[in-house]
Chain A
Amino acid sequence: MDSVRRTLLKASLWVGGGLILGFSLPAKSATLLGAATPGPSRDEAAVTAWVRITPDNQVRLIVSQAEMGQGITTTLPAILADELGADWFRVQLETAPFSNTATAYRNPARSWMFTGNSESIESFYDLMRKTGAAAREMLTRAAAARWGVPASTCSVKGSAVIHPVSGRRLTFGEVATDAARLPIPEKPTLRASSELRLTGKSLPRVDVPPKVDGSAIFGIDFSVPGMLIGAVRTPPTIGGRIRSFDEATVRSKPGVLAVVPVLNGVAVVADTYWQARTALAAAAFDFDPGPNADLGTPAVRAAYRKALDDGPWATPVNEGDAQKALAAAANTIGSDYESPFAAHVTMEPMNCTALVTADKCEIWAPTQGQELAFVALKSVLGMRDDQISVNRTPYLGGGFGRRLLPDFVIQAALVSKAVGKPVKLIWDREEDMRRDWYRPATMVRLTAALEKDGLPAALATRVVSPTILLPVFPPVETMLKEKGFDPGAMEGMMKTPYALLNRRVDFHLLKTPIPTSVMRTTGYGPNIFALESFIDELAHSARIDPYQYRRRLLRKNPRALAVLDRAAILGEWGRPLPKGRGRGFAFTDAFGTLLAQVIEVHVEGSDVRVEHITSVVDCGRVLDPDIAASNIEGGAVFGLAYCKAELTFRDGRAEQENLNSYELPYLAETPRFRTEFINGAAKLGGIGEVSPITVPPALANAIFAASGRRIRSMPLSRHGLRFV
C-alpha cells in the first residue's frame, strides 16, 4: 500500500488554518441520514457492504466511524466516493450498525468496531479506496455487459457509467442491481492520483450545516416511538451504594412511571426528563460511602510518590546499560513530573436509548465503542448474538475516549428491560463527572547521565500510573498480570525518536479504586509532558538552545528535523521578546504523526497569557487540510485544559462535579494559532490526539523562558498561576 500511496504523493509544504477557506454558500454537501439497517433495504442494491444504491440513483455510503467532531464523516466517505466516481454532493451517508449480521464495518486492522486511538484514517484508508474501486468496477462491468462492449472502454463520472465512444450513459442506479450480483473483485485497480478529486483538498464538512441550525441529532435528541425518559442517581462516592431512599416521595411526583434499581444506583422513568430528574431530586437518600470513604487527593499523591521511590517495577525497556552509564557518569540530572487526574467532560453528557424485550435488545447510543457495548450487553443480558444490535446516533457531542466505555449503555438497557419499553436514559453533569473513567494522574521520574557535550549518555525513566487500557480493551488483563505494565500508559516512553543509546524504562502499575481509562492523548500526554519538560531542562543545563538540543538528538531523523526546523521558523524561535515573555518548544512522535509546537507566553505576576501556539505537523499526505487544521488547533485548546483544570478527591468522591469547579478554558484565554502541515510522503498518521500532547510541556517550557520558574506539575493553579 505504501508504494501505491507514494506514487500519489508529492512532498510539499502546505499552509493550513483559515487561509484557504471561503466555501460557496449555501454549502452543498453530502447528507448524513441516520443509522443504516444491518443489510440493504428493499429498494437498495448493496454493491459492496459499504455502497448501497437505489434505482433512482441515490448512492448511500456507510460510515463506520463515529462523528464526534474530528470530521471523519466527511473524509472517510470522500475517500470511498472518490474511487467510486460518485457525485459527492448528492451522496447520502448512513452510520454503520453493529450486529451479528453487520460486522463488515469493523476496523480492518483490529477486527473490532470502535472509533478511537486516532487511527480511523490510518486503518480505513486502504479499505475505503479498495471498496470504492471494487464497486466502480462492478458497476462498470454491469453497464458494459448491458451495452455489449468491453468494460475497459467505459468510464465513470458523476454517479454514472459512460461509454465515451458511443456517448451512452447509464446511472449507477440503473445498473446497481446487476452489479450487486457480480463477484466483488479481490484486487480492483485504484485510480491514479491525477484522477482523485475529493482527497487532498478541503471539503465543506458534511456535519456543519445541521450543526448551525440545531437540526443535528445527538444521542440526547434521539427518539423512538413510545419512548420514556430516565434519570439516574448513583452514590457520590467511588464504590458507594444506596442504603435507602424515599421511594414513596419519588413515586408521588408527577409523570413518574417507574422506579428501577440499576446496578449501584436508582433510575426514575417518567414521561419527561425534567419530571424524572425532579422526582429524584425530591427524595432523601441514605448513602453508604463504601470502602473508599477516606479516599483523598493528598493520600493518593502520597501513594504515587511512595511508588515512585520504592517500586516495585516492571521494566519493559532496557536498551544498552542505563544503570551502568548513570553510575559512571560525572554529571547526572533528574526531575520528577506530575500530571493530574482529568475528566472527559464531553459537552453532551452520557445518555443512551435502549429497547430491551424478552428476546431482543436494540440500542441507539452516542458511542465510540459499538462492539464493546455489544459484547458487554450479551454478557449482562444473557442474550445471543442475533438478539442484539447496537446502533450509533448520527452525532456524538464529544467523545475523547469516554464513549468507548459501555457502562451508560448497559445501564439504559437494564432500565428498559425493567420497564419493557424503550427508554432514553440521560445522566446529569454531576453523574457524568462522578461516574467518569478519568484520565489518571501520573508521576514520572527522569534521570539522565550527561556527556561533556551536554547530551544524554543514558536516560532512566520511571512511570507510575494506573491502567488505562483495561476497561476498553479487556485482553490487556493478561499483559498486566504477566508483564506488569500497561502499554497504553507507556506510550511515548516505550519508543522515543531521540538518539539515546542507553535507555531504561520502569513502570509501576498503581492500584487505585479510582476508575481510570483512556482520554484524548492517552499515555502520550502525561509521558511527553515529563519527557519534553526534561529535555528542556537538560538543554538549559547544557547551555544549549532547546530547539538546537532536540536537533542534535534527532540528527539522524530528517523527517523530524524538517518538522522542528519549520516550527522554529514559523514560531519565530529566537526572535527577541520583551521582558516577561518567552517561548517554549516541544516535539512528539505519536499516533504515527510528528508534531513540533512553539508556544509563546506572557507571564506577569501570577497571570499567564498564552499568546501564540505554532504547530507544524507531519501526518503524511493531508487528506483534508482544513479539517486537519481544526483538529490541531482545537486539540491545542484541549491541551490547555490539561494545564488549567484538575480533578481532586475528598472523602471518597470527586470534588469537582460540574463546570463551575472544573474550569475548562474560555474563548478569552485562547491564543492565536499558526498551523502548517508537511504534506509529505510518510505513512498516514493520526491527527485527533497529537496536538494536546505537546501543549503542557511547550507551555511549561515557555513559562520557564519567560519567568525562570520551572513547572513540573500541572495544572498551573498548583503554582499560584492562572490563565488570563
Chain B
Amino acid sequence: MIMDLNVNGKTLPVEVDPDTPLLWVLREQLALTGTKFGCGIAACGACTVHVDGQAVRSCLFPVSLAVGKRITTIEGLSSRQSHPLQQAWIAEQVPQCGYCQPGMLMSAAALLAAHPQPTDAQIDEAITNICRCGTYPRVRRAIHRAARTGKG
C-alpha cells in the first residue's frame, strides 16, 4: 500500500504494509536510522519520535496512524544541532554509548514543548526512557540548561 508521510517537513511516499511500525518505515524505507530499535514493546523509548508534536514510541505505532500527521525524527529536530536541547546535550556532554540518546532527546523536546520550565518532578515523569550507560544525571542537567537558555 502506498502512503504519503509527512516526515521532518517533507512529504514522502512509502509503499509498505499499513501495520508496519513507524520505526521500521523510518529506518528501512526512509533511511532515517537515527531512531533506534531497543525493545520492540514500547518499554525503553529508544524509538521515540514526534507525531503532531506528541512523543510516541514508534516501535508499536502503526504507520497507517501517522498518515496525515506531522512526523518529526531526531534528524528533523533542528538543522545543524541547533535545538536548545542538542546544544545543552553537547554542553553537558550527555551521551555515552549514545544509542538511547535520540529517543531521550525527542522525549525531552516534547516535555519542553509542554513545560518550557520543567520541574525535577516533571522531568522524572516525562523521561521514562532507559539508558543502560546511566547518563540520567546529565540528561536532567541538560534539560534544565536548555530550559534556561533556549526556547525548547
Contact = CB atoms under 8 A, between A and B. Distances in A.
Nearest to A17: B137
A324 to B, nearest CB: 45
Which of A25, A69, A399, A641 counts the most chain B CB atoms within 10 A? A69
Interface in B72-93: 73-75, 77-78, 80-81, 86-87, 89-93
Given A23-B91, A672-B137, A667 B128 contact: yes
A1 interface: no
Contact of A397 (B43, B91, B97): B97
Interface residues of A, number: 71
Interface string A277-307: 0100000000000000000000000000000
Given A273-B24, A274-B28, A429-B40, A348 B134 contact: no
B32 interface: yes
A665 B95 contact: no
B134 A665 contact: yes
A633 B137 contact: yes
B15 to A, nearest CB: 11
A220 B37 contact: yes
Contacts of B34: 213-215
B96 A630 contact: yes
Contact of B127 (A204, A214, A217, A667): A667
Nearest to B23: A274
A229 B105 CA distance: 28
B123 interface: yes
Contacts of A641: 132
B35 A659 contact: no
A428 B139 CA distance: 27
Interface string A376-401: 00000000000000000001111110
A208 B139 CA distance: 13
Contacts of A638: 132-134
B50 to A, nearest CB: 13
A620 interface: no
A664 interface: yes
B71 interface: no
Nearest to B17: A254
B64 interface: no
Interface in A646-698: 658-660, 664-668, 670, 672-673
B90 A23 contact: yes
Contacts of A349: 37-38
A40 B39 CA distance: 40
Contacts of A109: none
Given A69-B133, A634-B96, A214 B28 contact: no
A18 interface: yes
Given A209-B81, A348-B36, A667 B140 contact: yes
B22 to A, nearest CB: 11
Tell me the interface secondary structure of chain A in the complex: loop
B40 A428 contact: yes
Contacts of B135: 630, 634
B127 to A, nearest CB: 5
Given A638-B133, A667-B123, A26 B138 contact: no
B65 interface: no
Contact of B80 (A26, A221, A400, A660): A26
B41 interface: yes
Contact of B134 (A68, A636, A668): A636
B116 to A, nearest CB: 19
B23 to A, nearest CB: 9
Interface in A386-436: 395-400, 426, 428-429
B32 A23 contact: no
A204 B81 CA distance: 15
B43 A660 contact: yes
B39 A673 contact: no
Given A25-B90, A209-B81, A212-B89, A398 B133 contact: yes
Interface string B1-39: 000000000000000110011001001110011111111
Given A274-B21, A347-B44, A18 B125 contact: no
B124 interface: yes
A256 B33 CA distance: 22
Contact of B131 (A278, A347, A396, A672): A347
B86 A70 contact: no
B123 to A, nearest CB: 7
A668 B24 contact: no
A630 B32 CA distance: 29
A664 B92 contact: no
Contacts of A71: 96
Contacts of B137: 633, 670, 672-673
18 contacts: A67-B97, A205-B93, A212-B90, A213-B34, A213-B81, A217-B33, A272-B29, A347-B38, A347-B44, A347-B46, A347-B132, A400-B132, A429-B40, A630-B138, A641-B132, A660-B43, A667-B140, A668-B124
Minimum-distance CB pairs A-B, first 10? A214-B34, A637-B134, A397-B99, A69-B96, A69-B97, A211-B98, A634-B134, A668-B124, A214-B74, A274-B24
Given A220-B36, A634-B133, 16 more contacts: A26-B81, A67-B97, A208-B93, A212-B90, A213-B86, A214-B32, A218-B98, A348-B36, A428-B40, A429-B41, A633-B134, A634-B134, A638-B133, A660-B41, A664-B130, A667-B124
